[in-house]
């Protein structure tokens, strides 16, 4: 492929990582949701670009899903839920943002190291893509483990999953990509519905506030 195509793909993937970083230092829920919408948008763009580059029309569907479902529906739904359940607007971090950012940078470096050891046999785009995708995944996990707040944890998971889709689309000619992205959307829908059903205000740990300090079937 031409270098231009490559650069654009590269740019998009890179900006996805950037978006992850932005999510990492948000401390307001709404802002976080907006950034996530942006994240999903960028993903949709890069997927679409991959579809165009690889002449793989089915990828457009994935892109569409990403755009419609993740960039629009989910954030809106979450906005609603937050309002409905009256969840705190600010996010409690476990460790300070600064430290989190440092950790994030470390993770990105790690993923680069891991991926660049791969022999250039696999074409450059794939390698770059994978490197970025891996860092997005790791950052997503980092968000999940550094936020005490249920919704932000969900958002972290969704960004992680974006990374997966990025990787999947980056893998040229990979079958079942669409199915997988659909399956994942279903999964996420489940989670969101779960949050709504189980009235999860604060954390994953317990299904409602009263149950926060219930014993887990084991305390004496």
Partner 1 sequence: MTLDALGAILLIPTISAALLAILPGYMLAARLNIAAALATFLTSLSLFVIEPTSGQYLLLDDLNKVFIVLTTFIGFTTSVFSASYIHHEIETGRLTPAFLRFYHAMYQMLMFAMNLALVANNIGLMWVAVEVATLTTVLMVGIYRTHEALEAAWKYFILGSVGIALALFGTILVYMAARPAVGEGLDGMVWTVLVKHAAQFDPALLNVAFVFLLLGYGTKVGLAPLHAWLPDAHAEGPTPISAVLSGLLLNVALYALLRFKMMLAVNSEAIAPGPLMVTMGLISVIFAALMLYRRRDIKRMFAYSSIEHMGIIVFAFGMGGPLANFAGLLHMAMHSLTKSAIFFAVGHIAQVKGTQKIADIGGLTTTNPVLGWGLMLGVIAIVGLPPLGIFMSEFLVVSSTFARAPWLTVILVLGIIIALGGLFLRVGVVMFGEPKGKTAPAEASYVPMFTHLGLVLMAGIYLPPVLVTGFQNVAKLLG
Partner 2 sequence: MIAVALWSVAALLALAPAGVVLSTRPRGSIILYGGCLIATSTLCVTALSALLYSPQLAPSAILPIGLPWLGAHFRLDALSAFFLVVVNLGGVAASLFAIGYGQHEDSPGRVLPFYPAYLAAMNVVVLANDAFSFLVAWEFMSLTSWAMVVSHHRDAENVRAGYVYLLMASFGTLALLLAFGLLASNAGYDFDAIRASHPSAALTGTVVILVLLGAGSKAGLVPLHAWLPLAHPAAPSHVSGLMSGVMTKVAVYGFVRIVFDLVPEPVWWWSMVVLLVGGPTATLGVLYALMQRDIKRVLAYSTIENIGIIFTGLGLALAFKAEGLDWVAALAFTAAMMHVFNHALFKSLLFFGAGAVLGATGERDMEKLGGLIHRMPKTAFVMLVGCVAISALPPFNGFVSEWLIFQAILLSPQLPSWGLKLVIPAVGGLLALAAAFAAACFVKLFGISFLGRPRSDVAASAHETDRFSLTAMFALAAFCLIAGILPGLFIDALAPVSKDMVGNIMPHQVGLQWLTIVPIAESRSSYNGLLVFLFVALCGTAAASAIHRLASDRLRRAPAWDCGYPDANPAIQYSASSFSQPIRRVFGSVVFGAREIGEMPPPSSPLPARLQVELHDRIWDWLYAPIARAIGFATERINILQFLSIRRYLTLVFVALVVLLLVVAL
Q: Give me the residues that bind partner 1 (CB under 8 A), please.
A: 114-115, 117-119, 121-122, 126, 130, 133-134, 137, 141, 144, 157, 160-161, 163-164, 167-168, 171-176, 179-180, 183, 187, 190-191, 194, 198, 200, 204-208, 211, 214, 216-218, 220
Instruction: Assign 139 to helix, strand or coil.
Output: helix
Do residues 187 and 153 make contact, with C-beta atoms less than 8 angstroms apart? no
Q: For residue 90, what are the β-bridge partners?
A: 28
Do residues 23 and 152 make contact, with C-beta atoms less than 8 angstroms apart? no
Residue showing tokens 């793909």: 9
Among 110, 176, 193, 211, binds partner 2 (CB under 8 A): 110
Among 3, 86, 216, 220, binds partner 2 (CB under 8 A): 216
Rounded-to-integer distance, Cα 54 and Cα 66, Å: 18
Is 145 near partner 2 (CB under 8 A)?
yes
Going 89 to 94 to 98 to 100, the CA torsion angle's sign is negative
Rounded-to-integer distance, Cα 22 and Cα 158, Å: 15
Question: x/- site string to partner 2, residues 60 to 99, per CB under 8 A?
Answer: ----------------------------------x-----
Among 6, 148, 182, 198, binds partner 2 (CB under 8 A): 148
DSSP 90: B
DSSP 148: -
Question: With CB cut-offs between 5 and 8 Å by kind, which of partner 1, partner 2, none does residue 168 bind?
Answer: partner 1
Residues that bind partner 2 (CB under 8 A): 94, 107, 110-111, 113-114, 117, 138, 141-142, 144-145, 147-148, 153, 203-205, 216, 218-219
């Amino acid at each position: 492929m031409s270098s231009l195509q490559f650069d654009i793909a590269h740019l998009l993937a890179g900006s996805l990582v950037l978006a992850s970083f932005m999510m990492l230092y948000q401390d307001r829920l709404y802002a976080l949701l907006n950034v996530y919408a942006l994240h999903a948008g960028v993903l949709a763009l890069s997927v679409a670009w991959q579809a165009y580059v690889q002449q793989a029309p089915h990828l457009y569907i994935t892109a569409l899903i990403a755009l419609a479902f993740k960039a629009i529906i989910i954030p809106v739904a979450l906005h609603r839920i937050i309002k409905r359940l009256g969840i705190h607007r600010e996010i409690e971090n476990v460790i300070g943002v600064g430290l989190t950012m440092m950790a994030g940078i470390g993770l990105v470096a790690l993923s680069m190291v891991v991926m660049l050891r791969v022999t250039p046999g696999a074409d450059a785009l794939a390698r770059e893509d994978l490197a970025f995708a891996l860092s997005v995944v790791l950052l997503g996990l980092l968000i999940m483990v550094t936020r005490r707040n249920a919704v932000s944890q969900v958002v972290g998971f969704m960004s992680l999953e974006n990374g997966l889709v990025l990787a999947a689309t980056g893998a040229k000619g990979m079958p079942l990509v669409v199915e997988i992205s659909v399956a994942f959307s279903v999964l996420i829908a489940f989670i969101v519905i779960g949050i709504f059903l189980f009235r999860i205000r604060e954390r994953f740990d317990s299904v409602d506030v009263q149950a926060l300090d219930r014993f887990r079937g084991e305390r004496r």
